[in-house]
A and B are shown apart, each in its own frame.
Chain A
Amino acid sequence: MNAHALTALKLTGIAFGAMSLGLLFMGLGRIVSARIQRRIGPPFYQSFIDVIKCFTKTSITHNFVMDLGIIMALGGLIATAFFVPFANFSVLGSSSVVIVLYLMSIGYLGMAMGVSASGNPNATIGISRALALMLGYKIPFVMVIMAMILTYNSSDLLTYALAQNHGFGSWHIFKYPLGFIAVEIAFQAMVGEKPYDHMIAPAEIASGPMVELSGKYLGIGFLLHAVQLYVETGLIVNLFLGGAQTWYIMMVKMFAVYFTTMCINAVMARYRIEQGIRHLWIWAGSFALLQLVYTRIWG
């Protein structure tokens, strides 16, 4: 029983660590955007202030489904974060990538359910766009992962990370170059940054899913994005950027991934919905397919 309690304690630590790291990235990301636009930008801890402020303000809710959905959303994503190895370490021992892919969905489903229950059509339109976009980025992403499964005959993220621990040359960027390009394109859509920010589209559908969120609901919305950043950048680092032996290298690599995303975000405009998906299928999809065919035949 004691061992279980210890594990639970460690996992709670990971939960708060993931949230904090994500918030830190969000703050730094805002500075990056600001500098590209020749502004100074907010301090790096701005996101922490935002979330704390959100939690101290009273908020509105429309019904119980909204509460349930929003709790389920963050809960699901935090549970996913438990399965992503951090610096070659996973508390749960196993970290099957299939679990990560499907468990992440409960976060999205919870969010979708919560904001749909608010009854605001803008929120639902945002969700319908997000789900449609999911059809675009998940397929290339999974194809690349399958290429790795073919090579290693294992779907454990830790296996992939450990296999890249033999210096710079062993990184998967060099082993699966086409796959990396595909995943980088898909990643832009996964985190919902331009040119794939249909879901939020501030000037168009009033921030989409976020439109009815206030107070702690908005705070949880922020945390959701933070944990999402932790999970998704963590995935990319474990899959392609050699994992990491120490925690600070892991953080630097994760930030590097996010930094690239923010740079692209700062200089691109938004696609239309079907353009976005078509772009993902054609570009990310074909790179991923080439990678998969290559690995299947010669890998």
Chain B
Amino acid sequence: MSPLFLLLLVVMPVGFGLVSLALPKRLSWFLFFFVNILVLGVVFKLKSSTGLTWDLKFNLFSTGAVSLKLAVTHLGWFFLAISSVATILFSMFSLDFNDRKHATFAAPFWMILIGATNGIFLSQSWIAFFFAWELMSWTSLLIIGHGKTPSFKAGIYYYALSFFGTMAMMAGIWLLYHRTGSWDIATTTLRIAADFTTHRSFAMTVTALFAVGFLAKSALFPFHMWPQMAHAEAPDDFSAYLSGIMIKYGIYGLALFVIPVFAMTPKGTMKIISGVPWPMYALAWISAITSVIGTVMAIFTNDMKRLMAWSTVANVGYIGVALSTNSSLGYAAALFHTANHMIFKGSIFAALAAVKFRTGEREMHKLGGLAYVMPITFMTFLLGIIAAAGIPPLSGFNSKWMIFQALFEKKMVFVATVIFFSSTGAFLYLFRALHTVFLGQLSPRFRHVKEAPMLMSFSMIILMILMLIPGIFPGTVTGFFNNILASFGFAPIKTTLNSMTGSTASINGTVIAAVFGLAVLIVFIMFLLGARQHKVAMMDNYTCGEDPEDWKVGPERYHYGYDFYQPIKPLFAWMPLGAVEKLYETLRRSIERFGNLVSSISADGSRLGWTFVIGILIIIVTGVMK
């Protein structure tokens, strides 16, 4: 294989994106789908060419050799593969979604974003990584704020937090280069791991700076607020990509740099808590707190996209917990859950996008009963929430099981309890969304709603299959892990096509699925043997002899959906859930005040002289200092 293919993966989508800026909207969406087919093809061609490297070295302002190195690693390829498979389904979905009425101008930027994504997963030098990262931040900002005021506000909020993280990462990269003189990711990882014995505080600072960057991108505490704004306000079809793939960049970063550093650090250099270095233990609790916040906020949210955004936050918390166990089982569990979450949250958002496409509503209590008119969308959503709740035989169960095994192995039972709380809370909000949107009474407004268009339905069907396969045959995904684990010096995990072995048990996905199938078959036969049933109208209900119509209650008001969990609200009143938001708001106000001060000096003509004087002074002072 020519190494130029690596460059192609980055340059091609970006190039097409730039070209399509000049094209009509609808055409650009076709181009978008086409680009994704090409990307997927190239990615799968690269499957067996691990180690393939493309490097460009040049001298910039005589600061030393800058290298833009792209290479296929086991980890990078895995992320590339799952993201490009998910992306092609999302883009097929978008093709029908962006019809004359709904089309947004997101396609060109989305193409550039895909190039940036590929760049992130291929980069083997920090410079290239950072370029790709910045490109990704900018383009996603442009897509999220797609010309509507609330969207723009959400985009700015997202970008501000992301920017903070990026700055931290940049500082980390500079320090790293300063110390090691190398931009290479693998080399610097080894160096910094060795530095933990000699230059502990330096190594800690650098790792912490990187961690802040990655935590901010993956919305881990205390950066957990941006998804509920960004995911909710982004274009509906883009939300699937945002929640499925973009939230994982931080996870990729942690898996690429932070976790290997702690895994390679010589034993005895750091205080060990519960079998892991203390920063990892802190990460475990940060992630656990994230998942609890995500869960509780999701339970009481009424906006369906916002609800699922909080659910994403909770899931990223699980992944963070898995990574923090610093073991091969935990690392594998994190990768597995990343892949599964990509698909199931993608299908959930796709189903919601289909609902919004047909109804135009986003607040759940205004919907209801859509399962009877949109059965494919309903099934997609149903399988999505079964996977998200971690119920066998779907994919989510296997990865959640693995996360618990990793926690049991390290005896982190208290973290596991917190995670189990979130996992049980997931039933609450997922069922709430299922009921309020798809079950219950169908409003007369939506009686004539049709199933989602063909390509949308088709991509949702494939998403359903992709949720079932890793559930029944976990080996289809876990089979890739041992190479990745080996490349970071972790021991391999035991897995076959059907089964996985954890620290306290082993499970066989195929057996669980077969047994469940048998049980359903038994019940189905019993159901058929019973006396016949006949169908009645939805409003033909038991109502203690009262007729709802007498009370002016139509289907819309007869649908129990608003404030679903009101009775248990008092239980969570003590939680300081809004504390971080308040802190940020204070910060924002003081920045704004400072901004006003600056602008009042510069904008006012009479003070223009002062600005001039201060400017001159600054130049003189810096000159003298030098």
CA distance A273 to B571 in the complex (A): 10
A interface vs B, CB < 8 Å? Answer: 8, 11-12, 15, 54-65, 67, 70-72, 74-76, 78-79, 82-83, 92, 94, 96, 98-99, 102-103, 105-106, 108-109, 112-113, 116-122, 124-125, 127-129, 131-132, 134-135, 138-139, 142-143, 146-147, 149-150, 153-156, 206, 211-212, 215-217, 219-220, 272-274, 277-278, 292, 296
**Cα separation A67 to B408 with both chains bound (whole Å):** 39
Cβ contact within 8 Å between A206 and B544: yes
Is B458 an interface residue, CB under 8 A from the partner? no
A94 to B413: give the CA distance in the assembly, Å. Answer: 22
Interface residues of B (CB under 8 A from A): 369, 371-372, 375, 378, 382, 386, 389-392, 397, 400-401, 404, 408, 411, 413-414, 416-417, 420-421, 424-425, 427-428, 431-432, 434-435, 439-441, 503-508, 511-512, 515-516, 518-524, 526-527, 529-544, 555, 558-560, 564-565, 567-568, 570-571
- On whether the beta carbons of A139 and B538 are closer than 8 Å, the reply is no
Top 7 nearest A-B pairs by Cβ distance? A216-B530, A75-B520, A78-B519, A121-B560, A79-B519, A116-B439, A155-B504
The smallest C-beta distance from B565 to any residue of chain A, in angstroms, reads 6
- For A8, the closest partner residue in chain B by CB is B518
B-chain residues with CB within 8 Å of residue A211 when the two chains form the complex: 541-542
B166 CB → nearest A CB, Å = 38
Q: Which of B401, B417, B427 contacts A98 (CB 8 A)?
A: B401
A119/B369 in contact, CB under 8 A: yes
Bound complex: CA A73 to CA B372 (Å): 19
Q: How many whole Å from A42's CB to the nearest CB in chain B?
A: 23
CB B221 to nearest CB in A, in angstroms, measures 21
Chain A at the B interface: SS class: helix
Contact B571 A278, beta carbon cutoff 8 Å: yes
Q: Is the CB of B372 within 8 A of A65?
A: yes
Q: How far is A31 from B97 in the complex, measured between Cα atoms in Å? A: 60
- A99, B504: Cα distance in complex, Å: 12
Q: Are B404 and A98 in contact (CB under 8 A)?
A: yes
Q: Can you report 10 residue pairs joining A to B where beta carbons are below 8 Å apart?
A: A58-B534, A59-B531, A60-B540, A74-B523, A98-B404, A154-B505, A273-B567, A273-B568, A274-B567, A278-B571
A15 to B539, CA, bound (A): 36
Minimum distance in angstroms from A56 CB to a CB of chain B: 5
The answer to whether B518 touches A12, judged by C-beta atoms less than 8 angstroms apart, is yes
Residues on A with beta carbons closer than 8 Å to the beta carbon of B523: 71, 74-75, 78, 220
Which B residue sits closest to A67, measured CB to CB?
B527
> Does the CB pair A124–B534 fall under 8 Å?
no
Known contacts A55-B529, A79-B516, A274-B571; is A135 also within 8 Å of B505 by CB? no
**Which chain B positions have C-beta within 8 A of A292?**
413-414, 417
Do residues B560 and A125 form an inter-chain contact, with CB atoms below 8 A?
yes
Q: Which residues of B contact A216 (CB under 8 A)?
A: 526-527, 530-531, 533
How far does the Cβ of A225 sit from chain B's closest Cβ, in whole Å? 14
- B530 pairs with A153, CB closer than 8 A: no
B527 touches A65 (CB 8 A): no
Distance A296 CA – B505 CA, assembled complex (angstroms): 20
How distant is the Cα of A112 from the Cα of B507 in the complex, in angstroms? Answer: 27
Bound-state Cα–Cα, A94 to B527, Å:
30
Known: A62-B536, A113-B382, A124-B435. A134 touches B424 (CB 8 A): yes
> Which of A11, A71, A72, A147 sits near B518, CB closer than 8 Å?
A11
> In whole Å, how far is A175's beta carbon from the nearest beta carbon of chain B?
17
In this complex, which of A8, A64, A75, A96 has the most chain B Cβ atoms within 10 angstroms of its Cβ? A75
How distant is B183 from chain A, measured CB to nearest CB, in Å? 44
A75-B520, A153-B503 are contacts. A62–B538 as well, Cβ < 8 Å? yes
Q: Are the CB atoms of A92 and B439 closer together than 8 Å? A: no
- B432 to A128, Cβ gap below 8 A? yes
Q: A63-B372, A216-B531 are in contact. List 8 more A-B contacts (CB 8 A).
A: A96-B505, A99-B401, A102-B401, A113-B431, A127-B431, A135-B568, A150-B413, A155-B505
CB of B522 within 8 A of CB of A15, answer: yes
Contact of A55 among B401, B531, B540, B570 (CB under 8 A): B531
Task: Quote the shortest CB–CB distance from B268 to chain A (angstroms).
Answer: 24
Evaluate contact between B408 and A119: CB separation under 8 angstroms: no
User: Quick check: B424 and A12 within 8 Å, CB to CB?
Assistant: no
Would A109 and B427 count as touching, CB distance under 8 A? yes
Please, how many angstroms separate the alpha-carbon atoms of A168 and B536 in the complex? Answer: 56
Among B414, B425, B541, B570, which residue has the most Cβ atoms of chain A within 10 A?
A: B541
CB distance from A65 to the nearest CB of B (A): 5
Query: Are A134 and B417 touching (Cβ within 8 A)?
Result: no
Question: Which residue from chain B places its CB closest to the CB of A16 in the assembled complex?
Answer: B522
Given contacts A75-B522, A116-B439, A296-B413, whether A131 and B531 have CB atoms under 8 Å apart is no
Of B420, B537, B570, most buried by chain A (CB within 10 Å of CB) is B420
Which of B404, B411, B535 is close to A60, meaning CB atoms less than 8 Å apart?
B535
Cβ of B375: which chain A residues have Cβ within 8 Å of it? Answer: 64
